[in-house]
Structure 1
């Protein structure tokens, strides 16, 4: 019989393909069987043990779930002569299970996403009481209070259901965007490249592989978890549903995909190699997104970051960028928006379809002041001849050349100049102030619109 019938005290769990008589955790007991008669036998034995040891069973706290194809009617089960309640959703040791659906983990994702949202909203609302928190502090709070909900159960419930995974991704992206001060239309890849936070789908499968290393190390101890892993591996080799098969599916869906060898016996070293491949896949995805997008390829592609240990400029795909440590929250957000292209300049705003306006080709997103060049961050900060902007630029350049005199005359175009100035940490606060002042000037004047096109 394919059904799995589980009783738990107080809650419930499904063991993937392995019927188990009893699992105990503190005062919680889980009983499982692959047939109704067998399950009732286990219940009778549990009650007999309780009677012999002077224990009392709390029937209201006992629940049962039935997994498998839907049936017109389900059998009832008794413990101590009383009927056990049958439920569709239940939790055991922090893991939620749902019957009546092809995705038994659906409730797990919903509950954890809701709790993560609650925690995220509390953290994002702290500024009303303590003022704007530094970006690093917000990142620390995220890892301590939000991330645990997003990775909860990742060692067991793998992300084979894309719809459920999106619930977690939505919470993560919303929090990071608010932390950086960028809009909802900002690129996803830059959320991770600028903060050093892993995309949740990569982080969850990486932790699942890390747990797999632990399970493999249990071989000599003859632990039940090791035996369950071998059963799951055998099912995967027969191309049947199993935890190992789900793990292979998740790895293949990464961009670029990662493979996991299941033919030969697993070694910790082989799984650790796969973990490195997951990290490389994540970095390749982020690099590809940044290098192919017109919003970031000029400034962020191939960017070098100062390494604190070696003191040399090296490429870091993911890192908490130094400009996020600027103390002024307004200046920090303005510079961040300029860097990740989430600002109010025409090059970004006219790519949107809003207020009945169509998308404008990039070459027609002209500067609202000089009406000569594309209105992008390098032009606005370092090229436009608007008097107010030139005055701001003169103040910035005087401080820049006083602090870094060797940079004068090094760059031939504004994009290269912006990229070259960006990694000079000693001038970052002044650069952030320039970004803030420049955006303030542009926001005070309506954009130059070019909605009429000549036709042949």
Structure 2
């Protein structure tokens, strides 16, 4: 492979002994596909990893045709073993500096967990992570990348890996494209308001502190998005048990209600908690023009907003309808 512009008139010939070496525009090395005639040398790698992750996800879903519905906890074990490995493969060497390359991978993760939780395409994305404990893909890839940067900084200056890092750092200082520069670009794409990594960083422990700040920013972002959503009002101010601490908000966790073993009961709980049900408070949200929340009245009693808690615990009309249905069934 030859990187950069190749001569249009003369093609160089390379040989090992008498055996010719043919020029190639795409090769795989240690499982990573490189391309030379492309401004994005890892574009093909992103595409193949997305395809492999999608196929593995389909296999997990197909497995349930023989085993029956698995709980999200069981699916998460399979996801971590067979899907996540493709979604994060080689993310250490290719910072997600360009959105269009990493978006297919994010789409695979999003579609997989929506299917696991039986959610539609209009469902919010943040609960896919807050309710299952699965880290959003972009921060996860960035955290792995920071781990690799810490590893490089721990190497002595006479090692090739450290020499490559210093060369990349020098290019970043001059404002040129480089791996180190892409690391900071990838961090800025997280939209957590992170400070860039100093170009003169030399202490591996500094990267550890930076990783902790990334995790804290990610968790704050998840909690803030849930707290700001009127749709997820049932999750506001939720507190979870914490080891050695008082109960408090936990951003990412496999929630206890997802452990319900009866699939239909679990799906019903998910639809209530995440507001993907067919009650008026949700369905009338999508009308044109939008009906204000106070006017999305219960169809049974017309006295209050039709919400899950109203239907289950307060609606007199629902109780009357159930009693009439029970009497009719008894007479029948």
**What TM-score, normalized by structure 2, do the two folds share?**
0.90
Residue 254 of structure 1 is aligned with which of 183, 190, 194?
190
> Does the 8 A contact of 2:14 with 2:22 survive in 1?
no
Residue 300 of structure 1 is aligned with which of 206, 221, 235?
235
SS at match of 1:299: helix
Question: 2:259 corresponds to which residue?
Answer: 325
1:180-259 alignment, distance < 5 Å: 180-219=117-156, 222-259=158-195
SS at match of 1:272: helix
1:277-316 alignment, distance < 5 Å: 277-296=213-232, 298-307=233-242, 309-310=243-244, 312-316=246-250
1:141–1:71 distance in 2 versus 1, CA, 3 Å? same
Counterpart-to-counterpart distance in 1, 2:308 and 2:9: 66
Residue 93 of structure 1 is aligned with which of 18, 26, 30?
30
> Does the 8 A contact of 2:311 with 2:318 survive in 1?
no
1:73–1:349 distance in 2 versus 1, CA, 3 Å? farther
Counterpart-to-counterpart distance in 1, 2:173 and 2:24: 33
Question: 1:421 corresponds to which residue?
Answer: none
1:89–1:311 distance in 2 versus 1, CA, 3 Å? same
Counterpart-to-counterpart distance in 1, 2:138 and 2:118: 23
Question: 1:273 corresponds to which residue?
Answer: 209
Alignment of 1:380 with 2:316, yes or no, is no
1:142-181 alignment, distance < 5 Å: 142-181=79-118
Counterpart-to-counterpart distance in 2, 1:254 and 1:374: 37
> Does the 8 A contact of 1:366 with 1:375 survive in 2?
yes
1:207–1:390 distance in 2 versus 1, CA, 3 Å? farther
Question: 1:362 corresponds to which residue?
Answer: 293
1:358–1:88 distance in 2 versus 1, CA, 3 Å? farther
- Name the structure where helix makes up a greater proportion of residues: 2
**What TM-score, normalized by structure 1, do the two folds share?**
0.67
Instruction: Report Cα offsets for 1:175-224 as digits up to 9, x if no partner.
Output: 1111122222111111111111110000001000011111111126x321
1:373–1:266 distance in 2 versus 1, CA, 3 Å? same
Counterpart-to-counterpart distance in 1, 2:250 and 2:62: 31
CA RMSD of aligned residues (A): 2.1
Question: 1:121 corresponds to which residue?
Answer: 58
Counterpart-to-counterpart distance in 1, 2:222 and 2:86: 24
The Cα shift of 1:368 comes to 2.2
> Does the 8 A contact of 1:189 with 1:286 survive in 2?
yes
SS at match of 2:12: coil
Residue 104 of structure 1 is aligned with which of 41, 53, 60?
41
1:382-421 alignment, distance < 5 Å: 382-388=313-319
Aligned residues: 322
The Cα shift of 1:351 comes to 2.4
The Cα shift of 1:312 comes to 4.2
Alignment of 1:346 with 2:283, yes or no, is no
1:373–1:98 distance in 2 versus 1, CA, 3 Å? farther
> Does the 8 A contact of 1:154 with 1:208 survive in 2?
yes
SS at match of 2:83: helix
Question: 2:328 corresponds to which residue?
Answer: none
In our comparison, the structure showing a higher alpha carbon Rg is: 1
The Cα shift of 1:359 comes to 4.0
SS at match of 1:313: strand
| Structure having greater relative contact order (Cα 8 Å, sep ≥ 6) | 2
